[in-house]
A = this chain, B = another copy of it.
Amino acid sequence: MPLDRERIVAAAIALADEGGLEAVSLRKVAARLEVGPMRLYGYISTKEELFDLMVDEVHAEILPEERPGEWREALGLLAHRTRLAALRHEWLADLLGGRPSLGPNALAVGEATLAALDGLADIDTVMRAVETVNAYSTGAIRREIANVRAERATGLSKRDWQRASGPYLTRMLATGRYPALAKAVYDGTEVTAEESFATGLNWVLDTVAANLDRSSA
């Protein structure tokens, strides 16, 4: 069986899906492909490059088959698909935004994002809009995955955890040094991660809409 980048990246993604990024070592990738570790260096030159290739591969899942006509739908779809990709591949949250993504699929996602706004405002406004939506998305996704992991680690939902003597945080909140925080934790409505993501995203898209208008006026 001939080796190539694709098989290497696929093996690395499988390992990362199963055990997180830290389960990805060049030795384990090589073992899964039944070759010696150094074989890989004929196809990739560094572990970081492998990570870059993994990120780009997942961007292929993010790109929608067809682009909606409405810019707002297009941007929302891309953001939601990025989120879903990160839920399927939690390690993506560790890598997203960590370095510029310049692989062909990531560029295609960037292209789709820009294309959705093309002509709706001057280039600089469009770029600011893209940056803002992307910053929100990656930040929100990272937080969501961080929470998923924390909940999995304690085996409790966030709410239960705080209420029922999540020992450390409860103690901190009980000190009275964080009154607003305590109120938010105890009085806030529980909301799904998807709702939270969608709400913030809509707010951000609202402000993008407002600024597209202002710029074209």
Residues of A that sit less than 8 Å from B by CB: 94, 97-100, 102, 104, 107-108, 110-111, 114-115, 118, 123-124, 126-128, 131-132, 134-140, 142-143, 146-147, 149-150, 168-169, 172, 177-181, 183-184, 187-189, 191, 196, 199-200, 203-204, 206-208, 210-211
Each complex incorporates copies of this chain amounting to 2
Known: A97-B143, A188-B127. A177 touches B108 (CB 8 A): yes
Q: Which residues of chain B are near A178, meaning CB under 8 Å?
A: 107-108, 110-111
In the complex, 22 of the A-B residue pairs with CB atoms within 8 angstroms, ordered by the A residue number, are A98-B142, A98-B146, A102-B168, A102-B172, A111-B177, A114-B181, A123-B183, A123-B189, A124-B188, A127-B191, A128-B199, A131-B196, A131-B200, A132-B203, A135-B140, A135-B143, A136-B204, A137-B139, A138-B139, A138-B143, A203-B211, A207-B207
